[in-house]
Structure 1
Amino acid sequence: MAWAAAAEITEGAPFRRVQARRYKAHSAVKGRRIEIISGGQASDLRKTLYMPAVPARVAYDIGVKPLHPRSIGPLFLTIIQRAFDRGGLRDLTGHDPARLLPGLSAHSTRAGLNQDLFARGEDLTCIMDALRWKSPQMPLA
């Protein structure tokens, strides 16, 4: 819900492509007198204007189409790797990411949620319905 609110998504797929546009910082530029601007550029009056300093920034465009199913796994692994790099998961897992990451996939979130729901005492039929399992063998495995 927080993502949908921040991305201003009111309908459609919740997870979509996000394009980042990065802009470099620019220092302030004094305007020049028209007399000193070279002949070829004299018609460009923008050269006479003062341009204030602009900080670096990033703008994000959020698409309308859902993420492709095959893009989820690589994104998932990138997020986990970044969390390890920042030291956020080492205490939680006690594992080295090089050993842990090859065994993870986007499906790991579904299986992990399945295990968490069972641990909370949720009913098998409710879990099957919520996670769209087609047979009871899958969530029980």
Structure 2
Amino acid sequence: MVGPQWMAQAACRDLDPEVFFPIAESGPLREQEVTRAKEVCAGCPVRAQCLAWALDALPYGVAGGLDADERSELRRGGEKIAAEDLTALQRWSLQRGEVIAAGRRALAAGTSRARVAQQFGVSRRTVDRWAAALTVGSVR
């Protein structure tokens, strides 16, 4: 099988991948293209797994219900997407793995541990474990 196993369950599995890579650079046409792609993502049973994958592996296009700019903001540690914004955006169906990955990225980007705990709705102890894992990971 090509790609992660969850891809076989994706709503987009039989669609032309070009649907998720808008041709227009800006304006109403781009908005239409992005909206079309996000509509596919909206009903996808593996949207959270796709988003986790896209945050790590996909610099362009729409995946996991987010466009490249939205994923970029999330990668930057969510300084622009605060906890209250994530709630307003239905927290983008982030599951445990995505929350951990996003929290670690926030720490790596220099966001304070207290802010990360608040933003992701976890305890300070959990954030300390994430930070410890980053330290261990950087030694490798």
Q: Which has the higher strand share?
A: 1
- Both proteins in one fold, TM over 0.5: no
TM-score by length of 1: 0.28
Q: Which has the higher helix share?
A: 2
User: Which is bigger in relative contact order (C-alpha 8 A, separation at least 6)?
Assistant: 1
Q: Higher Cα Rg: structure 1 or 2?
A: 1
TM-score by length of 2: 0.28
